[in-house]
Amino acid sequence: MTQIKPNGDTYYNSTLTGLSPAENEFREAVWDFSARVVKPRAEAIEKEGGKEGGEYKTLLEVHKKMAEMGLHGVTVPTEDITSSLGLGLSYTHHLLAMEAVSYSSASLALSYGAHSNLCVNQLSRWGSNEQKAKWIPGLLDGSYIGALAMSEVGAGSDVLGSMRSSARKTDEGFVLNGNKFWITNGPKADVFIVYAKDVVEPGAKQTYTTFLVPRETPGFSTGKPLDKFGMRGSPTCELIFEDVFLPSSAVLGSSLLGKGAKVLMSGLDLERLVLTGGPLGIMQAAYDTAVEYVHQREQFGVRVGTIGSMQAKLAGMYTAVNTARTFAYSVARAVDWHNEEAKKNGIEPGDKRYVYPVNQRRDCAAAILYATDKAIEVALECMQCLGGNGYINDYPAARYLADARLYAVGAGTQEVRRWLIGREVNSDFE
């Protein structure tokens, strides 16, 4: 059915999604939350973002309300004694939540994705019981904000090969030095999952380690918030590590010293999948805005939406939204099915016996690649449908485009996604 919200209509076509009744019930609950709680605050979130010394008051308030909904722990197991606030649901559910929040505020959703997937999900999957007991309850109830730090000024697409941030082992622990850049939630996060290259002997194989770094750690600081083209309400900044001492207990997991590359790579596919909800939500918002506008505005004595050239635009937008969504949901279901099968056999992702689903890497990359391309196209068409009003900030069309553009470079560039998919396809013939 079509979901009707208090703040307006959405023309989301649930008949094409293949969602189960329980999944659709979850989706409708989050879309309703997005309409009631997020949308009325979206403008305030944008205006408070990107300011040096900014408090991001509205964003943090809504984060707390999302915690009350249980949205920060969608994929955190409920049976884990250290994470009793987790919902224990699937990546399909996480994708649905990301899409619903993105519909009302792409900036908030990006912050949410960095917190709930990049930080919380990785900690839940790889952290020791002690680490989970210390951090997950607060991350789930809204007391803490989390972030993940991987990219650097000189290490974006080639994140491991060009990484300069280093961790030197000492008798007491580790000393971390370096910088991270473009870090979502950086200005406000309480804890960071940080990847660093290990200082190794000359000629030895380069290894990497993942650390948990609390904000108050001596020697750690953050730069001023970045002034971005879009996603202006999402807190983003540089992280600076100057002789930061970390005890051995700061290594993520109980036996993952030198295995940071494995942790990093294991999270990238799931990051791409969950964050695909971002362009999906933006695309649906752009389509809904355009449809409403062209059926209210009249030119030449008729509604603009009835003019042939405009009907062609609406047809293209409708097709793009629904094909991108259907593909993304299918990939999510495939990942979830594999995870469930592994669990039935007592195999968790950290287990040496765990084998990732066939085509997971290429399909997760393809889902966000396609959704991002289509979100940019639909946002541009939305601007065109609004004519002159599409170019002024009294209307949301320009923001849709600016926000959609983030996903062409964030969480991996479109070029790297295409390269990855092509490499995976070619591997079938090796």
Could you give the angle at which helices 106-113 and 277-294 cross, rounded to 10 degrees? 170
Alpha-carbon distance of 220 to 177, in angstroms, equals 9
Q: Which CA distances in Å does 339 have to 91, 135, 268?
A: 10, 24, 16
Using DSSP, state whether 428 is helix, strand or coil. Answer: coil
Alpha-carbon distance of 345 to 49, in angstroms, equals 46
Alpha-carbon distance of 305 to 315, in angstroms, equals 11
Strand partners, 149: 194
Alpha-carbon distance of 258 to 196, in angstroms, equals 10
Catalytic residue among 271, 340, 341, 377: 271
Alpha-carbon distance of 53 to 177, in angstroms, equals 24
The answer to whether 415 is a known catalytic residue is no
Burial degree of 414 (CB within 10 A; 0-12, 13-18, 19+):
middle
Catalytic residues: 271
